[in-house]
Amino acid sequence: MRNDYKAAKKKAEKEVRDAVREGRSPYLPVLDALEEVKNATAKRSLGLMELPLNRIKGNKEQGRNSAFAANFMPLLEEETEFAIKWQQLYESYQKEGIRDAIKVYEYMHQFYVQEGNKRVSVSKYGGTDYILADVTRLIPAKTDDPEVLAYYEYMDFYRVTKIFLFVFTEPGEYQRLAELVGQNLTDVWPEDLCKELKSAYFRFSKMLKKEYRIEDPYVVCNSFLVYLSIFPLSTFSEDTDEQILKNVRLARHELLSEGTIDSVEFLDKASEGEASRGSIIANLFSKPRKYTETDPLKVGFIYNKGVDDSRWIDSHEAGRLYVNVMSGNNVKTSVYYTDKEGGIEKTIDKCISDGCELVFSVCAEHYSEILKAAVMHPEVKFASCSAGGTNPSVRCYQGKIYESSFLIGILAARTQLLEYGNTGDRRIGYLARGTEEINRINLNAFAIGVGMADPECMVSLKVEGRDTDYREQWEKEGVKIFSDMEYSPSSNMGLRPGVYDIKDGKEVYIGTSYFNWGKYYLQIVGSVLNGMWNINELIDKHIAANYWFGLATGVVDIRVPQMDWKTEKLMNFFKDAVIGGLDPFEGELKDNQGNIRTIGDKISPSDVLTIDWLNENIEGEF
């Protein structure tokens, strides 16, 4: 047995050397030494649990903490009483395992040993995966920290499932898991479902460890969530371990990606230098396929409504027709309607059976089905009209329409000043035709533009479907100019998109921001024709790529039929500034609650896409 202690001590000494070299503590972390633990609001006994040993992080108290390295292997000399007891315990462990439960405290998903650290050490050395533990939970003080908010969501999840295996650090992930299995975080889940979920997790984690040697619980849990979004829980009862392993290999890019918006590569422009360099790289690997009139590139466009029923669909259909005109006979586009095909899944199947090699889904709500199809059919290129997608198998695309909205905000405020003067309370109406992140971004950019032209002007926000009498409300507020330029995915009713001036009870069109989807689609189709689509995959298969084009590419712009020369000069100045790199969200901003919202001098797409507030001059809420 002395040889076993000696081998364990060598593991400890190696851990110490590695820790010193990497600049971290060579010893176990101590729960009581954590500053934030002092603010814990309560503690709660959870009873006995079978804990994964890889979730046990350190000791509850300082005690003999120096007796163990950070990997729980023993450090004291072989002749000490500590070493003798460790050896005796290991001998007992080999014969009958660990009989008595250890005592641990759990804080923010991590477990700290109060009693039984030698039992943990022996079990880790012996290769055991789980150990029986009497668990007490310390509840952190609730703050706005995303990790703390996610933990409170976890406590809701634990209350209805009694499952502690899943660890997520982003709010909404436990809710997403619940939705994937048809449950919520309010009602107690069926016992059989909980057993099925745990069994699926164990089988999945086993396959992930076998194939990619991944054991980190945070990585495993996030990968499992992605796996469930592609292969439903019900498939576990049907699939053998061999099939699950095949699925893991098939979805490897999704499972191994970081899965955060900060990890996404946003392509906001395509310079000639980059394209030329990319072509050289592409030719090193393969030559692009040659498409002809008799063997064209087949491109499918998936719509959820008719062109006459939605502003959004109408704008994309104009883009598709532009591709038909500009791309020649080596490209053939087709439209597929989900209502006619019997749902999104059947529509995707129809695209594939028709031989489409590139499929555009213009509705963000279809993203999960598009992801499943992209994983199952890697031979087809799938693109989803949405922003911030984190899955490498799906190429997301969206226009920076907020740049144009910013310019139109300036125009609206200037028009109001010229028409009605700068006296009294001044308001401009804004009708939001949705409450998604893109709607919030566009509204804020519009309001920032209004504020630049008229710092005292407010923006009166109304939401389609919620504020049914918005015109009456605006009339009472004295609103004379309003914006209704958002592309509604569900309606094509009312005025054409734009900003309007109400004169003598009639709406006079001023101008609008707009998408030029034709240019967008032509560039994406061109990347397939010239073999550039897969460049990012050749460089790094685990990075999601999003197209994020703005004014500089002509994908978004403004349309104003008439302007006086001074206004035109002003608008051209700001347009050139945005094209040159000015972002409406740069510098210090305030929200409508009085909080300073400084994003920074260098704005990233993830900064913009995670805005969850409204600008200071906006009256109303989403």
What's at 303, amino acid-wise? Y
Q: Pick the closest to residue 387 from 473, 559, 538, 515 (CA basis).
A: 515
How much is the pTM? Answer: 0.77
pLDDT band at 163 (very low <50, low <70, confident <90, very high): very high
Domains and CATH numbers, the chain: 1-141 (3.90.1530.10), 145-256 (no CATH), 265-392 (3.40.50.2300), 401-518+551-619 (3.40.50.2300)
Q: Which residue has the higher pLDDT, 152 or 257?
A: 152
Grade residue 298 by pLDDT with cuts at 50, 70 and 90.
very high
State yes or no: pLDDT of 207 exceeds 60.
Answer: yes
Looking up tokens 């669909």, which residue turns up?
313
Name residues whose C-beta falls within 8 Å of residue 49's C-beta, 6 or more positions apart in sequence. 132, 133, 135, 164
Instruction: Report, as an integer, the average pLDDT of 100-121.
Output: 96
Question: What one-character DSSP code corresponds to residue 489?
Answer: S
Record the tokens describing residue 299, joined without a space. 């491109």
Using alpha carbons, select from 445, 414, 443, 449 the residue that is nearest to residue 431: 443
User: For residue range 116-136, what is the model confidence (pLDDT) as tens digits?
Assistant: 999 999 999 999 999 999 999
What is the token pair recorded at 570?
A: 């002003």
Q: What are the residues whose beta carbons fall under 8 Å from the beta carbon of 26, sequence distance 6 or more? A: 15, 16, 19, 20, 69, 70
User: Which residues, other chains included, contact 177 with Cβ-Cβ below 8 Å and sequence gap of 6+?
Assistant: 157, 166, 168, 225, 228
**Span 389-444, pLDDT tens digits:** 888 899 999 999 999 999 999 999 999 999 999 988 999 999 998 888 899 999 99
Can you give the three-state secondary structure of 130-190, one letter per residue?
EEEEEEEEEECCCCCCHHHHHHHHHHHHHHHHCCCCCCCCCCCHHHHHHHHCCCCCCCCCC
pLDDT tens for each residue of 265-279: 777 754 333 444 444
CA-to-CA separations, 390 to 367, 458, 533, in angstroms, rounded: 11, 36, 17
Residue 533 has pLDDT above 90, yes or no: no
Q: How confident is the model at residue 587 (pLDDT cuts 50, 70, 90)?
A: confident
Choice between 53 and 600, residue whose per-residue pLDDT is larger: 53
Lowest mean pLDDT among 1-5, 93-97, 225-229: 1-5
Neighbours of 241 (CB within 10 A): 11
- Whether residue 556 is predicted with pLDDT greater than 60 in this model: the reply is yes
Whether the pLDDT of residue 1 is over 60: the answer is: no
Give the pLDDT confidence score for residue 490 in this predicted structure: 59
- Band the pLDDT of 588: cuts 50, 70, 90: confident
Q: How confident is the model at residue 142 (pLDDT cuts 50, 70, 90)?
A: very high
Q: pLDDT tier at 287 (50, 70, 90 boundaries)?
A: low
Confidence tier at 489 by pLDDT (50, 70, 90): low
Residue 22: how many CB atoms within 10 A of its CB? 8
pLDDT score recorded for residue 431: 95
Asked whether the predicted pLDDT for residue 382 surpasses 90, the reply is yes
pLDDT of residue 286: 52
What whole-number distance in Å separates Cα of residue 395 and Cα of residue 383? 5
Give the pLDDT score at 541: 54
Two tokens, residue 427? 């308001």
Residue 75: closest CA among 11, 120, 17, 122:
11
CA–CA separation, 461 vs 474, rounded Å?
10
Output the six-digit token pair for 307.
């062109």
- Give the model's confidence band at 323: pLDDT under 50 very low, under 70 low, under 90 confident, else very high: very high
Q: Which of 549 and 277 is assigned the larger pLDDT? A: 549
- For residue 599, the Cα-to-chain-centroid distance in whole angstroms is 19
Q: For 529-547, what is the mean pLDDT? A: 69
pLDDT at 314 over 50: yes
The residue length of the chain stands at: 622
Please report, rounded to a whole number, the percentage of residues in the chain having pLDDT higher than 90. 73
Which DSSP category does 615 fall into? B
Q: Which segment of 266-270, 534-538, 603-607 scores lowest on mean pLDDT?
A: 534-538
Q: Whole-angstrom Cα distance, residue 25 to residue 32?
A: 16
Mean pLDDT of the chain: 90
Give the residue-averaged pLDDT of 551-564: 93
pLDDT given for residue 283 in this prediction: 47
Which carries the bigger pLDDT value, residue 55 or residue 601? 55
Beta-carbon count within 10 A of 9 CB: 19
